[in-house]
Structure 1
Amino acid sequence: MSNPPRRKRSLGWISVIAAALVPTLIAIAAHASVPSTPSGWSLVWSDDFNGGAGSLPSSANWIVDTGHAYPGGPANWGTGEVQRYTDSPANLSLDGGGNLRITPIKSGSEWTSARVETRRADFKPAAGRVLRIESRLQMPNVTGSAALGYWPAFWALGAPYRGNYWNWPGIGEFDIMENVNGLNSVWGVLHCGVNPGGPCNETTGLGASRACPGSSCQSAFHTYRFEWDRAVTPNQLRWYVDGQQFHSVSQSQFDSGTWNAMTGHQGYFLLLNVAMGGAFPNALAGSTPTSATVSGRPMLVDYVAVWQSGSGSTPSPTVTPPPGGVDARSTIQAERYQAQSGTSLETTTDSGGGQNVAQIGNGDWLRFDGVNFGSTAATQFNARVASGAAGGVSGLVQVRLGSPTATPIGDFAVGNTGGWQSWRTVPANISGVTGTQTVYITFSSGQPADFVNLNWFSFGG
């Protein structure tokens, strides 16, 4: 669901669009809670979409995309889709019954709809484990000519896409569920490598499709699942609908550079949206939407959940510390953590460029292994921070050793610095530290809003 020209599918669907059908009312199944965590697995993250009717999804979990593009990104979200995304409850809201509704609406000549993405961008299995990403949802309940141009999707993009927007498809894309034009079919697709061509046959991608089991995709809820398996060699990617596998891709199909570019970064963020028109629906039906396309048929999302095999939910290390550890008195880049919770990465405008850790709020943390303080005690902590938090919103940046719940050895408070890329270096005194330590940078606030970005830190004294 992203980036410059694509979605020219050649997956065996040479379909004749059926004659117009009388639209049917949406059959809403009873809300189902996030399934119990299976034995041998751990829950990494989930959202059950419980809340009052008409409210937006949790801002702690989701970013709402608006407009026709990311700022500085490709027009029409890189796919040629025609709608404008909004945060209006008419397009995006909870239904009060445990579902999220994403509803395309035509007003005059304009289509509007909605697109959300997880704040977390670190969904990735640890080495030797399996990551399972799943949603129970109902596609827009519309078929035939009335459905032309509808393009619902549940998918994932590589985290380095945030703030860049021109590195697709190398950073990877997993289309867990795609559908167009009201066809009773789910597509699962991998995008990678280079565009056009490359090992993922861009702009088409490596994909497969099948009809939904039992009831059609449009008339009922179905469960769509993607698994990233690092417990087998070579690694595998697998797609399922209602527990039935219909597509798989093996690491052995790719050169090491392509695979590493797609899997070697910190992980993925998840997206839900309903586009209107664009390359994929147009490839099967000509120019869409048409005058026959009806407005107002929502995609209903019951839950989204991520599990990992084994115990614990911490993503695999993104960076291995060098032999001998990291010099505590050097400039330690925040994005070079070995594990984290609750944050994401973005391109920084601070001196030196690169990335900073972003979207940091209460309870988030970063872990740095093998930080070598030597035999002379370090007594000061310096951190490069920025904040665009609202007035009155602030929090603490803390240093802990050995555990994210250990007693802090030092901290400082930070509030709005003038913007999320308005950087300043803040010092703090810490209890004297020697030897080689596992350092946790933790973040504490009395409210749920994000309050700080972190670019780098160092120790002195």
Structure 2
Amino acid sequence: MNRRTRLALVLALGGLLGGCSSAADTPSASSTKEQPFWQAEFDGAAATRPSGKSWNTETGNRDAEGWGNNELQYYTDSPKNSALDGSGHLLISARPASSGSELPCYTQKFCDWTSARLTTEGKVALTRGRVEIRAKIPTGKGLLPAIWMLGNNGVEWPGQGEIDICEVVGGEPRTVYGTAHGPTYFNENGIGGSTTLPADASKAFHTYAVDKQPHRITWSVDGRPYFTLTPSKLPAPRDWVFEQDMHLLLNVAVGGDWPGPPNASTPSPATMTVDYVRFYGKGRA
């Protein structure tokens, strides 16, 4: 998500390196006897916030320079934008800003939309193993919902390292993108693949996952791998920055360089419904 543009080249790389495959909501690895070392199941009363023990809520827009993508949403800590639903889910909702709210925006005077961006930075991280998120992803013009990871190495992005577990962009409701960004392969030069869902991502829950092993990262949907990245696929000098702790981010962005602006057809609210998050393997919690 720290990017100015993600257009033709990332799409070409997705087709060249990852190809496309069909995925249905089949049993994932989480249904085996393996136990996660950390999990978020989002039990709790409706309209309550997710646990501060594991989650941070980032806010703003202008000071964050449009979140690196000239985005139009102002991230808030309001339950209207991120809260439990009382039925075991976390809801992250983008919705039009209230009249007169005057939320400072980077690309215009005030932001027209509000949303939420939750992270586990400084609280929970994956060193080696698998992260799974079962979620229903909003789709529509101008939306860019994302499930992703950033490195904890303290280096400025893109040297920080980024793994996009799942992005569903704008008017491509059935396409899931998985991408890696690093020191010499970022923005439109990010390296990844894509897969095609049997229906719009907003119609059903799917399990989006990344298996992060030494010098190998594999993306999958519903237990079906669709792209694997190794150092040999990186451009010279093959800067592999993923042998480190990485934290998770969940957000629904609106507008910006990749999806373009919303319009009258954009759903409101546009909600990412998260059933669970589970980390397997080795990490910090």
Would you say how many aligned residue pairs link Structure 1 and Structure 2?
A: 256
CA distance in 2, matches of 1:253, 1:189: 12
Residue 226 of structure 1 aligns with which residue?
A: 210
Q: Does 1:299 align with 2:272?
A: yes
Residues 9 and 204 of structure 1 are in contact (CA less than 8 Å); yes or no, is this contact kept in structure 2? Answer: no
Larger relative contact order (CA 8 Å, sep ≥ 6): 2
| Structure 1 residues without counterparts, runs of 5 or longer | 14-28, 126-130, 283-287, 316-340, 343-461
What SS class does the counterpart of residue 159 from structure 2 fall into? coil
CA distance in 2, matches of 1:47, 1:6: 32
| Match for residue 269 of structure 1 among 227, 247, 250 | 247
| Match for residue 279 of structure 1 among 216, 238, 257 | 257
Taking structure 1 as reference, are residues 236 and 253 closer, same or farther at Cα in structure 2, changes over 3 Å only?
same
TM-score, reference length from structure 2:
0.82
Q: Percent identity?
A: 35
Residue 402 of structure 1 aligns with which residue?
A: none
Taking structure 1 as reference, are residues 88 and 9 closer, same or farther at Cα in structure 2, changes over 3 Å only?
farther
| Aligned pairs for 1:293-332 within 5 A | 293-308=266-281, 313=282, 315=283
Q: Does 1:191 align with 2:164?
A: no
CA distance in 2, matches of 1:110, 1:202: 25
Give 1:290 shift: 2.5
| Aligned pairs for 1:55-204 within 5 A | 55-68=48-61, 74-107=64-97, 108=99, 110-119=112-121, 120-125=123-128, 131-140=129-138, 142=139, 147-161=140-154, 167-182=156-171, 183-193=173-183, 198=184, 200=185, 202-204=187-189
CA distance in 2, matches of 1:274, 1:8: 19
Give 1:253 shift: 2.8
**Structure 2 counterpart of 1:2, which letter?**
N
CA distance in 1, matches of 2:136, 2:112: 24
| Structure 2 residues without counterparts, runs of 5 or longer | 14-24, 100-110
Q: Does 1:243 align with 2:223?
A: yes
Give 1:12 shift: 4.4
Give 1:134 shift: 0.7
Residues 231 and 238 of structure 2 are in contact (CA less than 8 Å); yes or no, is this contact kept in structure 1? Answer: no
Deviation string 1:368-414 (CA, Å, 9 cap, x unpaired) is: xxxxxxxxxxxxxxxxxxxxxxxxxxxxxxxxxxxxxxxxxxxxxxx
**Structure 2 counterpart of 1:118, which letter?**
T
Residue 103 of structure 2 aligns with which residue?
A: none
Give 1:218 shift: 1.6
CA distance in 2, matches of 1:202, 1:153: 15
RMSD: 2.5
Residues 102 and 298 of structure 1 are in contact (CA less than 8 Å); yes or no, is this contact kept in structure 2? Answer: yes
CA distance in 1, matches of 2:137, 2:238: 36
**Structure 2 counterpart of 1:302, which letter?**
D
| Aligned pairs for 1:26-37 within 5 A | 35-36=30-31
Structure number with larger C-alpha Rg: 1
**Structure 2 counterpart of 1:251, which letter?**
P
CA distance in 2, matches of 1:256, 1:42: 37
Residues 6 and 204 of structure 1 are in contact (CA less than 8 Å); yes or no, is this contact kept in structure 2? Answer: no
Residues 151 and 181 of structure 1 are in contact (CA less than 8 Å); yes or no, is this contact kept in structure 2? Answer: yes
**Structure 2 counterpart of 1:247, which letter?**
F
Residue 210 of structure 1 aligns with which residue?
A: 195
Q: Does 1:8 align with 2:7?
A: yes
Residues 177 and 187 of structure 1 are in contact (CA less than 8 Å); yes or no, is this contact kept in structure 2? Answer: yes
What SS class does the counterpart of residue 49 from structure 1 fall into? coil
Deviation string 1:257-302 (CA, Å, 9 cap, x unpaired) is: 711xx1344x1110000000112212xxxxx123443321211000
CA distance in 2, matches of 1:67, 1:123: 26
